[in-house]
Amino acid sequence: MNRKVGVIVLQRVTAAILMRDGKVFIAKRKANGLLAGKWEFPGGKIEKGESPEECLKREMREEFHIEVSVGAFFGESIYHYEHGAIHLLAYYVQWEKGEFRPLVHDEFKWVPVAELKEYGFAPADIPLAEKLMKVLGG
């Protein structure tokens, strides 16, 4: 029997840093799922054979009915949840078209960067929120 001891498998996940008029787009997770009620920078799991950029385009289309273009890499975070460890990769994205309609979140908001600290973010997203506040002077 082969056993791997001490190996941690990281699920690669993306996050969108979507800015408009000095505000950033955040979404609140549904009350009945993992990390219920926590705020996050939207995105999702990278599927096999998919790049982070392709993932962000797909996830924003699936979760919010919008089309985005993906820009520069913003930052990353690794977090070990009870349900598994994730490697969160954040990119700046630009809204191109579509009407925002959340399908898998309870709520979404455009928030001034300086106010991010007032929201209860998912633990993996906290370092990204802190970096965004530092970079943009929030």
**CA separation for the pair 87, 120 (Å, rounded):** 20
Given a contact cutoff of 8 angstroms between Cβ atoms, the answer to whether 125 and 16 are in contact is: no
41 part of a folded domain: yes
120 part of a folded domain: yes
5 part of a folded domain: no
**CA separation for the pair 51, 39 (Å, rounded):** 24
Place of tokens 């820009």: 71
3 part of a folded domain: no
Mark out the alpha helices in 33-88 (DSSP H runs): 52-64
Summarised one tens digit per residue, pLDDT across range 70-115 is 999 999 999 998 878 999 999 999 999 999 888 878 899 999 999 9
CATH number (domain holding residue 17):
3.90.79.10
pLDDT reading at 35 higher than 90: no
**CA separation for the pair 83, 63 (Å, rounded):** 22
The number of folded domains in the chain is: 1
Domain range for 16: 10-135
CA distances from residue 16 to 9, 24, 71, 81 in whole angstroms, order as listed: 23, 10, 10, 20
18 part of a folded domain: yes
51 part of a folded domain: yes
2 part of a folded domain: no
1 part of a folded domain: no
Summarised one tens digit per residue, pLDDT across range 3-19 is 444 666 789 999 999 99
**CA separation for the pair 47, 12 (Å, rounded):** 9
Task: Kindly report the pTM of this predicted structure.
Answer: 0.89
